[in-house]
Amino acid sequence: MRADHVNEARRGHAAFLSAVARLEAGAQEAGPDALAAAAGAFLETWETTLAPFLEAEERSVYPLLDRHLPEEVRSPELLRRELATLRDLVPMLALTRERLRRGEPGADEEAQVLIEDLVLLAREHIRKEDQVVYPLLLRLLEEIPDA
């Protein structure tokens, strides 16, 4: 059932938000070592859990958005751009983590900005999906037989 894909994606968002919260909390600790550790933990979770989750969500839910949301609702394109930006921030965070490890000047400020941007974008993206786009899609799917 297609609605199950949507509900599964919404459940996966909890793990994503938890990883983002841990990253944010780690970034609030003082010093480049704490920043590097927080970034490293997030990057590991990204590789093992978050990136595969996003890929599955895009394969299972986004085609439903393309097929069933009204044309005037351009959410699928916006959501894809947000995910692309999140994916772009991850390798930048990995590079900054290496700079932190080497003790390069300015790396801690750069890490703070990247983490803040990543956290903000992830939360906004998930909020938009969970509170607006997915509820709308679920309502539309209820109107379709065998959805």
Q: Is residue 83 part of a domain?
A: yes
Q: Is residue 62 part of a domain?
A: yes
Decide: residue 109, CB within 10 A, 0-12 exposed, 13-18 middle, 19+ buried. exposed
Q: Is residue 95 part of a domain?
A: yes
- The pLDDT assigned to 17 comes to 95
Q: Please report, in tens digits, the pLDDT of each residue of the chain (147 residues total).
A: 577 877 788 888 999 999 999 999 999 987 899 999 999 999 999 999 999 999 998 988 888 888 888 877 767 888 999 999 999 999 999 999 999 999 999 999 999 999 999 999 999 999 999 998 888 888 888 887 665
Q: Is residue 147 part of a domain?
A: no
Q: Is residue 45 part of a domain?
A: yes
Q: Is residue 60 part of a domain?
A: yes
- The pLDDT assigned to 110 comes to 95
Q: DSSP characters for 11-36?
A: HHHHHHHHHHHHHHHHHTSSSHHHHH
The CATH number of the domain holding residue 82 is 1.20.120.520
* Amino acid in position 68: H
End-to-end distance of the chain based on CA atoms, in angstroms?
6
Count the domains in the chain: 1
- Residue pair 11/121 in contact (Cβ under 8 Å)? The answer is no
How many residues in total does the chain contain? 147
